[in-house]
Amino acid sequence: MTKKQFRTLAAPETVDKTIAGLDLDPGTESVALEHARGRVLATRVDAEIDVPGFDRASMDGYAVRARDTVGADEADPVALDLAGAVHAGEKPDVSVAPGSCVEVSTGAVMPPDGDAVVVVERTDETATENGDTVVAIRTAVAPGENVMVAGSDIAAGARALGPGTRLTPREIGLLSALGVERVVVRAKPRVGVLSTGDELVRPGEQLDSARGQIYDVNSTTVAAGVEAAGGEPVVYPHAGDDFDEMERLLRTAAAECDLVVSSGSTSASAVDVIYRVIDEQGELLLHGAAVKPGKPMLVGRIDGDGDEQHNASAYIGLPGYPVSALTIFRRFVAPAIRAASGLPAPQTATLEGRMATEVRHPQGRLRLMPVGLVDDADENRLVYPVDKGSGATTSLAEADGIVAIDADTDYLAADEPVSVQLFSPDVRPPTILGIGEDDPALNELLDLLDRPRYLPLGSREGLRRLRGDVPDFAVVAGPRETDHDAVDLGGWTREWGLLVPAGNPDDLSSLADLVDRDVRFVNRPTTSGLRTSLSRALADLADDRGVSRHSLVESIDGFSATVNAFESPANRIESGRVAVGLGLRTTADKHDLGFVSLGDQPVRLLGNPERLDKPAFDRLESALAELPAHCSSLSGYRFAGE
């Protein structure tokens, strides 16, 4: 099979118009009022009764004839005979005769001939010699005072709620008062959700990483997005890359749903065949969008399997990488689902900030760049890119919103003003932002802080971004050049060295053995402080031997092979893929591995001198003091004062 080239990439406006032309109308349905919250009325609701349905007292007091209170005041009250009482929920069995009054409670039916209520605070009761009660009225009232007349809330025949009204607890309260039991609402569009790819495994199932399997992220996240947009997600089993199986699942979903959304198999490679299914079993309207991320998206229609009513279900194909899929879903698909549900666009969630660092964008198409937010000491909002690539799901989890970079903009300068489209109106920036080395003790420290955000990009990257004024603090491990601007906030030491299988079968005892023995090694990235310490140790060994450091590096099998996290080398050793890894004693002990110590390594927290007035630094200082008590399970660690 030859590769299929993308058609002309459609502009975002064209994508919007194409999707708007799809028929996603789900029709209407009748639902019980108790299940109607958040739904959208499809028809007008008129009041069939008066609310209230009777004249009722709106205050505790006495029902009177208003004309009997004329002239009454504190100095010269009017005396009225008490004829009886009416309480809420009772049918009156007494009327208000001239010269009399009736005790009433709030919500009670007004007794016949009573046209006003005197509040109890402006009255006094007195018992007569014959056992009757006289009420002294110390204020005059006008007809209708403290009385809610029948229909004053809403009258029978009035328009109560119109079509398109979203039912919140307030509207449901009104419908309850009208005695409405069921309402006709816009049906939720049923959205079939499929992920494609032979490598996918559903969460909860056994994962075989040796076969390149990964957990299916898109099915659950897209389904959650469908529900948030007002749709009803229907998640189907994931499809492999087999044409017939993919066709069967897509047509089944088309027969049962108003819209089918798939992810993966939309690019131009030979194994991505979903566009062929749409071409052969429906209509492909658009293939490829001028958007980054999300270029390989599809829009079209697909015939259902044996259901005439769904013979041309709408179809949208998302890219396979989670960041691309979710970004494109949020930008193009969610608005279409909301429109079909009758829901308005979400509350505007846009704020202004300034770029904390420069960003280059030479691609020549709209870029939807995930960004994070951080405040400086003066509460000025700074914006920094959070972009680990389309395949990294943490890019969105660590981001607060999106900055849209136009196709004709190839550069955003540091301090340039930008608009951030927040993922939701309630997004709050972290109280403190750190960047640098990943470390088990640091994880404990972060748990003691209120709403921190930490990007484990390595010591070198932490220092670089600290110099660029992005984070509040950087975490740096190992030897480093003096940085006179950074403020040392404190830290600890950790024992580092070589991780080996349990029992140390290769009998390694030093760094020299790693160089001289034929063992497979896995390293840490050049941004890691552990890698820096290893490089320094190799340089010292080279000096002792009178050779170049490069020659020692060349003799280590796998020196250039790297893994990102501090536990990753242990996982490689446990799987048998390597015999030695660069790591920490605490990692070796946790995984029951052997360990060859190469010394202690300092880990320091370096504060941004321009941010030290932020309140979060007070909590960071106290958390550092508390930290040793939370790290008792970490072997090879030492803290100040220990």
Reading the block at residue 551, the tokens are 């020659």
Relative to beta strand 100-104, strand 78-86 is: parallel
pLDDT at 145: 96
* Secondary structure of residue 124 in the 3-state scheme: strand
- The CA distances from residue 595 to 13, 130, 519, 599, in Å, are 58, 103, 15, 12
pLDDT at 2: 39
DSSP 8-state code for residue 169: H
Average pLDDT over all residues of the chain:
89
CA-wise closest residue to 341 among 228, 492, 425: 228
DSSP letters, 486-510, are SEEEEEEEEEEEEEE-TT-TT---S
**Residue-wise pLDDT tens digits, 140-167:** 999 999 999 988 888 888 888 999 899 9
* CA dihedral of 45, 47, 48, 49, whole degrees rounded to 10: 160
* Secondary structure of residue 79 in the 3-state scheme: strand
DSSP 8-state code for residue 41: B
Distance of alpha carbon 284 from alpha carbon 298, whole angstroms: 7
pLDDT at 482: 60
Distance of alpha carbon 639 from alpha carbon 288, whole angstroms: 55
- Element at 605 (helix H, strand E): strand 594-607
| E strands, 88-226, in order | 100-104, 116-119, 123-127, 133-137, 147-148, 159-161, 182-186, 190-195, 200-201, 214-215
Whether the pTM exceeds 0.75: the reply is no
pLDDT at 195: 86
pLDDT at 394: 63
Reading the block at residue 118, the tokens are 């005197």
CA-wise closest residue to 314 among 383, 386, 373, 259: 259
- Element at 463 (helix H, strand E): helix 459-467
pLDDT at 336: 95
Residues of the chain with pLDDT under 70: 1-7, 240-241, 265-273, 306-311, 347-348, 363, 388-396, 481-484, 641-642
pLDDT at 271: 42
By the 8 A CB rule, do 485 and 463 touch? no
CA-wise closest residue to 433 among 388, 466, 406, 405: 466
CA-wise closest residue to 195 among 276, 260, 287, 254: 260
**Residue-wise pLDDT tens digits, 562-616:** 998 889 999 999 989 999 999 999 999 999 999 999 999 999 999 999 999 999 9
Q: Please, what are the domains in the chain?
A: 12-25+189-341 (3.40.980.10), 28-48+159-185 (3.90.105.10), 56-148 (2.170.190.11), 350-429 (2.40.340.10), 442-639 (3.40.190.10)
DSSP letters, 397-438, are HT--EEEEEPTT--EE-TT-EEEEEESSTT----SEEEEE--
- The CA distances from residue 223 to 240, 320, 335, 370, in Å, are 19, 15, 15, 21
